[in-house]
């Protein structure tokens, strides 16, 4: 599943081609993805200018001039790609098409159909069904050591599971949690409630750093994920622990270990992380 850096990369790519443009066509080529698609999609968005494209957690938001907000989630295998000029006919898995007044066409392609595309409004956005319980943005001004420590206080779950809880921090995924815990020297098995004070501050800094670096590198390309332009991300070449079971730790040389937590693979160095 695309994680926060991949979604942020997609947002930035889409912003370059959509912001300031008017949507001239919106076509839903099937009635649903993971959830039903808005039956009034075309009527709600056609003829309206895109003011900005941004992100909340792993959701992509298109803010339109009339206050409508298009909410999209890439799911497991979804991607958005951009075509200019006379685009080819849509493929089998191109489920939603958005076209603009300058000839740009955006395809929402989703082979597994676990993605989402919905409509809400600016006024309803804070209480939108998927946003109500989200924690702070890890790249936002409200995310720091004390804020993280407060959300981890009293939690008996492993820190790895706590960080994947979107109510604790919005948008974090498996890859970048593994990498951030390694940078902070924190074992994924450690009880979340024990990550306080300087330890929480170090983890918050590591989370922000690894996400920022991944965004700069264009994200990590796994299976179906590519940027809107079709370019691949390169952060996977910088992974310190993720996917490196049995390989030497980049810091101490001990073999990277793998364990399963909540059904997800966790990669870590038992020597460097405590």
* Residue 274 counted as domain residue: no
Do residue 119 and residue 189 come from a single domain? Answer: no
Residue 23 pLDDT: 98
Full residue range of the structural domain in which residue 179 is found: 145-268
In the set 55, 58, 151, 244, the catalytic residue is: 58
* Residue 166 counted as domain residue: yes
Identify whether 223 is a catalytic site residue: no
Do residue 201 and residue 90 come from a single domain? Answer: no
Do residue 119 and residue 217 come from a single domain? Answer: no
CA dist 27 and 120 (Å) reads 17
Residue 199's SS3 state is helix
152 confidence band (pLDDT: 50, 70, 90): very high
Report the CATH number that the domain containing residue 160 is assigned in CATH: 1.10.8.50
Identify whether 3 is a catalytic site residue: yes
* Residue 53 counted as domain residue: yes
Report the CATH number that the domain containing residue 77 is assigned in CATH: 3.20.190.10
HSE (CB half, 13 Å, CA atoms) of 121?
5
* Residue 236 counted as domain residue: yes
In the set 2, 138, 158, 228, the catalytic residue is: 2
Do residue 20 and residue 67 come from a single domain? Answer: yes
Average pLDDT score, the chain: 91
Tens-place pLDDT, residues 31-74: 999 999 999 999 999 999 999 999 999 999 999 999 999 999 99
Do residue 32 and residue 115 come from a single domain? Answer: yes
Residue 201 pLDDT: 98
Residue 88 pLDDT: 83
Do residue 44 and residue 155 come from a single domain? Answer: no
Beta pairing partners, 50: 64
Tens-place pLDDT, residues 97-127: 999 999 999 999 999 999 999 999 999 999 9
Identify whether 153 is a catalytic site residue: no
Mean pLDDT calculated for residue range 10-25: 93
**pLDDT above 60: residue 178:** yes
261 confidence band (pLDDT: 50, 70, 90): very high
Tens-place pLDDT, residues 189-242: 999 999 999 999 999 999 999 999 888 876 544 333 345 655 544 445 578 999
Do residue 10 and residue 116 come from a single domain? Answer: yes
* Residue 135 counted as domain residue: no
Identify whether 189 is a catalytic site residue: no
Do residue 166 and residue 215 come from a single domain? Answer: yes
Residue 234 pLDDT: 44
Q: Would the pTM of this model clear 0.85, i.e. be above it?
A: yes
């Amino acid at each position: 599943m695309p994680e926060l850096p991949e979604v942020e990369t997609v947002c930035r790519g889409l912003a370059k081609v959509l912001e300031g443009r008017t949507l001239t066509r919106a076509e839903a080529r099937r009635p649903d993805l993971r959830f039903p698609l808005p039956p009034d999609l075309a009527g709600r968005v056609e003829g309206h200018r895109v003011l900005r494209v941004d992100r909340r957690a792993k959701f992509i938001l298109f803010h339109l001039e009339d206050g409508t907000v298009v909410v999209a989630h890439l799911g497991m295998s979804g991607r958005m790609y951009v075509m200019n000029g006379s685009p080819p006919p849509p493929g089998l898995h191109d489920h939603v098409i958005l076209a603009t007044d300058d000839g740009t066409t955006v395809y929402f392609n989703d082979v597994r159909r676990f993605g989402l595309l919905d409509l809400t409004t600016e006024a309803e956005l804070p209480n939108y069904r998927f946003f109500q319980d989200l924690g702070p943005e890890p790249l936002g001004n409200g995310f720091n050591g004390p804020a993280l420590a407060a959300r981890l206080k009293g939690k008996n779950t492993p820190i790895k599971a706590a960080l994947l809880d979107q109510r604790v921090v919005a948008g974090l995924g498996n890859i970048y949690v593994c990498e951030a815990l390694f940078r902070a020297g924190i074992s994924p098995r450690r009880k979340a409630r024990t990550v306080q004070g300087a330890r929480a501050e170090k983890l918050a800094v590591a989370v922000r750093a690894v996400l920022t670096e991944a965004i700069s590198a264009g994200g990590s390309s796994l299976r179906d994920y590519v940027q809107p332009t079709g370019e691949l991300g390169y952060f996977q070449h910088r992974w310190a622990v993720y996917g490196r079971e049995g390989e030497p730790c980049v810091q101490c040389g001990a073999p990277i270990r793998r364990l399963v937590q909540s059904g997800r693979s966790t990669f870590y160095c038992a020597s460097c992380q405590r």
